[in-house]
Amino acid sequence: MKINEIFFSIQGESSWVGQPTVFVRTSGCHLRCRYCDTTYAFYEGRSMSVDEVVENVQIHPTRYVCLTGGEPMLQSDTPLLLQRLCDLNLNVSLETSGGLDCTGVDPRVKLILDVKTPDSGAGHSFDEKNLSLADVNRKNRTEFKFVICSESDFDWAVDFAQRHQLFERAEVLMSPAFRRVDARWLAEKILSTGCFARLQTQLHKSIWSPHVRGV
């Protein structure tokens, strides 16, 4: 696998926000979102075997592991790594754009599918096969995340979630795009429209400087 970094920090997003978590960041991404804060992961990285990644994860005192990127689903060994981590009874999450088919991922993994909005610059990248993962039987295991860049993005995200019954069948997360819209504006939009989205504020960026790597 090509790995950009492995580090121990506080989970800043998802329903596991606040948990001490080991992050495994893979290298490479096929998208170019306008707000991307991990452009250093497009090319930088080193080759590691699945065994080496598992060993590095186990050094840290936590039960939470998050595979992130870049786009982890570009790596052919990602499904095997996720399975190996689940077999260790770790709580495992996968952060992906949902632009590649995730339906074969180990069902024990919590999926955070970051549906790209039109103003992300990567709209239309979502693989609709992943909508089958919105299932009441795995409601605690699938989260659809929307990073909101504008009012029209908010309306688009609500419409997408309603058309696919995501509010009923999964968790829906909304985050303000960093320095594009603010959290208070998004909170008020969620409250005024009555949609059942969970507001996310990237906790790690308020604890540390937004530009610090490895947190």
Name the residues that contact ligand SF4, by CB under 6 A.
29, 31-33, 36, 38, 69-71, 97, 122
Of 9 and 90, which CB lies nearer to ligand SF4 in the complex structure? 9
Residues 107, 132 contacting (CB under 8 angstroms): no
Of 23 and 84, which CB lies nearer to ligand SF4 in the complex structure? 23
Q: How far is the CB of 122 from ligand SF4 (least distance, A)?
A: 6
Q: How far is the CB of 125 from ligand SF4 (least distance, A)?
A: 8
**Token pair belonging to 1:** 């696998």
Q: How far is the CB of 131 from ligand SF4 (least distance, A)?
A: 18
Q: How far is the CB of 15 from ligand SF4 (least distance, A)?
A: 19
Of 9 and 175, which CB lies nearer to ligand SF4 in the complex structure? 175
Of 12 and 70, which CB lies nearer to ligand SF4 in the complex structure? 70
Of 169 and 200, which CB lies nearer to ligand SF4 in the complex structure? 200
Q: How far is the CB of 96 from ligand SF4 (least distance, A)?
A: 8
Write out the chain in H/E/C secondary structure: CEEEEEEEEECCCCCCCCCEEEEEEECCCCCCCCCCCCHHHCCCCEECCHHHHHHHHHCCCCCEEEEECCCHHHCCCHHHHHHHHHHCCCEEEEEECCCCCCCCCCCCCEEEEECCCHHHCCCCCCCHHHHHHCCHHHHHHEEEEEEECCHHHHHHHHHHHHHCCHHHHCEEEEEECCCCCCHHHHHHHHHHHCCCCEECCCHHHHHCCCCCCCC
Of 54 and 66, which CB lies nearer to ligand SF4 in the complex structure? 66
Q: How far is the CB of 62 from ligand SF4 (least distance, A)?
A: 23
Quote the CA–CA distance of 81 and 69 in Å, as a whole number.
14
